[in-house]
A = this chain, B = another copy of it.
């Protein structure tokens, strides 16, 4: 059940975000219920001058690995600068690389992302890039030293699920680093499906934060991820077009007089 990324081992395969929650307290309780051990934080959201800000002070007792993200960056240069600020502010080499020039759908830029990834890896960062579900791009991100790849299932915050499924399947088949499905996962069934397909982990934020009951939803996602991973390991049956009877079909009356 453990997941290794770079040199760290996690017991949970559910990554969470910290945005959109109604309060930092709810956020922390939700993350705790979810079992998540790797939590992404927007740099803007943390007070870079003062480490004891609201979000961080609520996250600290959970003992999770912080994963500062570069959300808001539109170029490699901006992202690298943001990553360096995050390293200084949060004391971690880990960074979730996000570069999205388009404010409407927040689609990641493949060119700038690869450029920034290469430079950040060279600078000693542990880089987890958010990227489009592009099999060749994922291979290239891996080749420049990324610790994992984070292809999107659908637009961020859209809750649409694994709309890029056919590409995710190829990415998973070919990857030599962990594949973490990010964005679009709006329901536990999406998370279960991703894990059944062989994804190494999923990241969920909006679906938790906007639920009327985030803490319960955190628990649901924890179970969903575990269910999917267990099923993947146990081995799923093939789909068939014809029926295969689970109960004996013919002659149930044979042997008894009618």
Contact = CB atoms under 8 A, between A and B. Distances in A.
Interface in A202-231: 205-207, 209-214, 216-217, 219-224, 226-228, 230-231
A36 to B, nearest CB: 14
Interface in A100-141: 100-111, 114, 132-137, 139-140
A258 interface: yes
Contacts of A105: 135, 170, 242-243
Where chain A touches its partner, the secondary structure class is loop
Contacts of A45: 247-248
A63 interface: no
Contacts of A235: 211-213, 217
Given A132-B132, A134-B134, A136-B109, A226 B228 contact: no
A12 interface: no
A245 B170 CA distance: 16
A40 B206 CA distance: 39
Interface residues of A, number: 110
**Number of identical monomers bound together in the oligomeric complex:** 4
Contacts of A35: none
B107 A170 contact: yes
A102 B159 contact: no
Contact of A110 (B134, B233, B239): B134
A46 to B, nearest CB: 11
A198 interface: no
A11 interface: no
Given A166-B155, A256-B85, A216 B230 contact: yes
B252 A70 contact: yes
